[in-house]
Structure 1
Amino acid sequence: MIMVTGASGALGSLIAAKLAASGREVVAGTRRPTGSARRVDFDAPDSLAEAFGGVDVLVAVSAGFAEDDVVIARHRAVVEAAANAGVRQVVYTSLTGAGEHMSIAPAHRATERLLAAAPFAVTVLRNGLYAELLSQAAEQAVATGVLTLPLGGGKVAAAAREDLAEAAARVAVEADAQVDNAHRGRVYELVGSEALGGEDLASALSAEHGKEIAYAPLSLGDFRAALTAAGLPPFQVAHTVSVFANVNAGFMGGTESDLPGLLAGAPRRAIDVL
């Protein structure tokens, strides 16, 4: 049996849907379960052993934005509960190696270290930035004629969330069926096949919508101020600014990726997603 944690979230729900279509036995894990889903609350570690009962392959979707100590504690509870429940293999959605300088990187790398010391098999999916991360700015650009993003002159090899979900589902299915042990112990780098900057995005949106759209870089300082004014908690402001700071610094444009080898077809282009 395969379980997906965070199954009500954007990535987890896609993974769960693809697994449900695979014919394997799948159960969704979420903090507020309905139907056949199980309650999986990383902040209630005592509940996890029961939740993971009978699970052979656990797709552990990372616990999202929070302070590092909270995220690491959540993930440590998952690792310990999976070991106690006899889970055979854990597939963890981590952060691309290109993101080593991001403020969210330490929690992911600490989790990878916990998994490496665990008694079960592990596959790490180091996901790149989602193409959907830029969708709101793209919609506003079509409406206003100006694409405002804190990318500076940097580029990002963003991946479609749909593709990342497909890759995770394939690894989980093959691990569950035990038809392909090649995923055991593997760390996959999953980024987009094309690096795009603000000018590239503005040009593509202009062509798609038949109107002139200009790129207006937003400074990181102004971006931070806008996030703060919107009422985001301080850790989320810091993490979000850090993501775009890494794009500005030129760290996120690499396109070397294991993603094509885990998909049935070619990866979706980020610009098509937008």
Structure 2
Amino acid sequence: MPHPEEQYLTLLRNLITEGDERVDRTGVGTRALFGYTMRFDLSAGFPLFTTKRIFWKTAFKELLWMLSGGRNIRELLEQNVRIWTDWPLKKYRDATGEQVSQDEFERRIMSDAAFAARWGDLGPVYGYQWRHWPTYDGKEIDQLQQLIEGLKNDPSSRRLLFEGWNVAQLEDMALPPCHKTYQFFVCQATNTLSGALMQRSADAYLGLGWNIANLALMTHLLAHQCGYAPGEIVWFGCDVHLYLNHIPQARLQIEREPRAFPRLHIKRKPTDLFSYRIDDFQIEGYDPHPHIPADVAV
């Protein structure tokens, strides 16, 4: 039986050999395919890719920040998570003309609350939409709380989902949501919860491994809170692309043999979905190949 990670390696091969070469908004260029699906059985292991190291603590911290409804990079920098700095840093440089280094920009964010409020704000991104979707009458909808109530009280519903693509606020976001629509399914015969993600834009080399891991974590956490066992996750990619400057790294990764997926152990059950901490998670048996670095395209 093929290793489940082969789905991802096949995607990388197809992007290199068959992807449509295009000029993208970053100017770097990509090879892209439209429409790709991967499935992972969570009972068979946690889908943390092994052909290069995924820094899972950083990925999980990002998801916990999203669950909190956060929108400022200061909240991430306090946890030594720097993956969102590129966008507000570019905005600051473009607006002021000051070619400040990333280290100096982050130091100002951490030391100056007013500077952080002005320049660290990402706008109503991801978690803000999940927790604070604005209504036309000035109220807010907590989509995640509604989802939890549905999973507990109406598990056969076909409306067990949440959405990040708020058309009215896209221009206010540092980056419109790439992983945009999540939906969940309770199999009452097995008492399992499965999760699906429709991703409109997928950076196949740098981002996709994180997206899969966080979809799996989200499904685990919802199952943990609502009394289900984890089922499977299904990932649907629409515009799936490989940046041209990532092709050498992808070729190296394709040559590697996948190793056994690890297991996720959740050490405690907090009172609600929004109270998990990074120390609550333990990844057991993760033995990846070495990390292969690559630059992010902004």
Q: What is the TM-score of this pair, normalised by structure 2?
A: 0.28
Higher share of residues assigned strand: 2
- The answer to which structure, 1 or 2, has the higher relative contact order (CA under 8 A, 6+ apart) is 2
Q: What is the TM-score of this pair, normalised by structure 1?
A: 0.29
